[in-house]
Amino acid sequence: MSANGSGILKWWVDASFAVHPNMRGHSGDRLSLGRGFPIVSSTKQKLNGRSCTETKIISVDDFMPAAVLDTLFHAIYEVKDNILYQDNKSAIILEKNGKALSSKRTKHINIRYFFVTNKVNRGEMSVVWCPVADMIGDYATKPLQGILFRKFRDLIMGVVSTKDPGPGKPKTKKGKPVSGESVSGDFYFW
C-alpha cells in the first residue's frame, strides 16, 4: 500500500438491499490513497431500508465516521479532495441536495443524508457517480467471481494502482459489446 501523492482521498461505498434473513442491507466501503486500501469495512446494516436507494444512503451514513476521521490525515498527508464514489444516481442526488428534494416518500430518511449534504455544501467532500463495473465496494457486498473478483482483489491488495472510474458501459451494436474493453482498458461485465 502506498499513497500516490495526489492528495485525493477516494472512497468507494456500496450496499446490497435486503440480503440478510431479517431483510436488512449490507454495507461495504473502501478508502484508497493511490495503491491498496488501508481502510476496508463490510458490515450488516442496523436499519431496514425500504428501497435500494435508501439502503445506499444508510451505507454512506454508516461510513461517515471514517470519513470524518480524514481530518487526521491533514496532519501527515495534504488532502486536496475527498471523493465518494457511488453507483446509484438517486442516492447521489439526495446526498447532494438534502432537504431541497424532500418529499412525502423521502421524509423518513432526511436525517440520514443531512450530514453528507453538509459536507458536500462545505466543499469537504464530493459525491461522484461510479459505474457498477468499477464499484470496488461490491467486493464486500456481493458474491463476485471470475475476472471481476480478481480485478477488485488486486486493487484492494495493492497489486495494481486504483484509477478513476470509467465512463460506464461501452457502446453496443444490437445488444452486443463493440469490444470487451472500455475506454480505459478495463473489462466490463454485465
> Higher pLDDT residue, 119 or 17?
17
72-106, pLDDT tens digit by residue?
A: 666 677 778 888 899 988 888 888 887 666 666 66
- Is the Cα torsion angle 65, 130, 88, 119 positive or negative in sign? positive
DSSP alpha helix (H) spans, 77-135:
89-97, 110-121
Dihedral (CA of 151, 156, 162, 166) sign: positive
Record the cell numbers describing residue 184, joined without a space: 480505459
Mean pLDDT of 50-70: 81
Q: Identify the band that residue 126 occupies on the pLDDT scale cut at 50, 70 and 90.
A: confident
Q: Work out whether the CA dihedral 92, 95, 97, 102 comes out positive or negative.
A: positive
